Amino acid sequence: MSSFPIRIISLALFSISFLPSLNNGQLTRHSVLTRAKIVYHGGPILIETINVALIWYGNVSLHKKEAIANFLKSLNTDGDFNLQPQVTKWWKMVESYQAMLPGAKHDEVPKIIVNVAKQINDTSYKYGRNLTIGDFIPKIVKEHTKEAKNMLPIIITAKDVNMEGVCTKTCAHNGIVGNSTLYIILGNPELECPRKCEWPFTQIDSGPKSILFLQPPNLDKAADAMVIALATTLADTVTNPLNTGFYDGPPKNSIGIGTACKDIFGSGAFPGNPGKVHIDAHTGGSFNAHGIKDQKFLLPAIWNPKTSSCWTLM
């Protein structure tokens, strides 16, 4: 794969137990009763520098653009040291998977730099407002990778765009065009499916009923829900870009390190309760991470390979 600086690892199996486990003394929301494993399948993960191209499809609001771009820029940039925890700490857990590779040195884990190298505004709706992944994704990726060569395209749709699968199956999706071009597609749930993709800010149609709802940290339910979905999908993409890295289950329906901990945001989480979070005294917004420009985020749990449990910032 020539588009990204990734390390190819010879085939080896590395097992991570995925069992009912305690996180700070509480059963995690995603704990399961059946025995399963997140397994390293011997393939590459993304390392070194990941140049990202943000492709805004449709009229995406400025507020959503800022929230998403600032989250990505916060992954490698520390803010005020007095404000803890920070987004960089969350990203270090993703980076830690480099130490789980065969032959890796454990004394110091290298940084994985996420660089927002380009932003592209595609407001013409040239592919329409009702899009299918099989037809739309290859076209827009092919079109824009000409000007964003060797970058990871992250396609973010406007609220008036309906994307196949981004609601019925998942709130964000990652995949491969051809044999080597990765992509992430991030849907906007504001109109299409707030009751599917805006938890824990909105009641969901299926699953456990929430005992409480959180106010979004940036006071925009859709924007903050999109950051959560992007964080989960980015973690999965970095550690399992070609469906040969770290995951559980069959490759076509894999459970990645972010997906494994869906709907957990703090210690003490259980079905219907997102767990421990901070509350902004001025806005009432709930958050667990500080980013650049004094921006706050609510970030999801990630599977910790060392403790075999869902790890949270709080």
- 285/287 Cα distance (integer angstroms): 7
What value does the mean pLDDT take over residues 58-66?
96
Per-residue pLDDT tens over the stretch 70-128: 999 999 999 888 899 999 999 999 999 999 998 887 778 999 999 999 999 999 999 99
Q: Which residue has the higher pLDDT, 259 or 195?
A: 259
> 40-193+221-260 adopts what CATH topology?
Collagenase (Catalytic Domain) (3.40.390)
Q: How many alpha carbons fall within 13 Å on the CB side of residue 259? A: 22
Helices (H), ranges, 132-248: 133-144, 189-192, 194-197, 221-239
Report which DSSP code applies to 312: -
pLDDT(179) > 80: no
Contact by Cβ (8 Å): 105, 265 = no
What digits encode the pLDDT tens for the residues 298-311? 999 999 988 888 99
The residue-averaged pLDDT of 20-35 equals: 33
Res 236 pLDDT > 70: yes
What global pTM score does this model have?
0.87
Mean pLDDT estimate for the chain: 84
Helices 62-74, 221-239: axis angle to 10 degrees equals 40
Please state, in angstroms and rounded to a whole number, the distance separating the CA atoms of residues 87 and 74: 6
Q: What is the pLDDT of residue 162?
A: 86
Rounded to whole angstroms, how far apart are CA atoms 295 and 280? 11
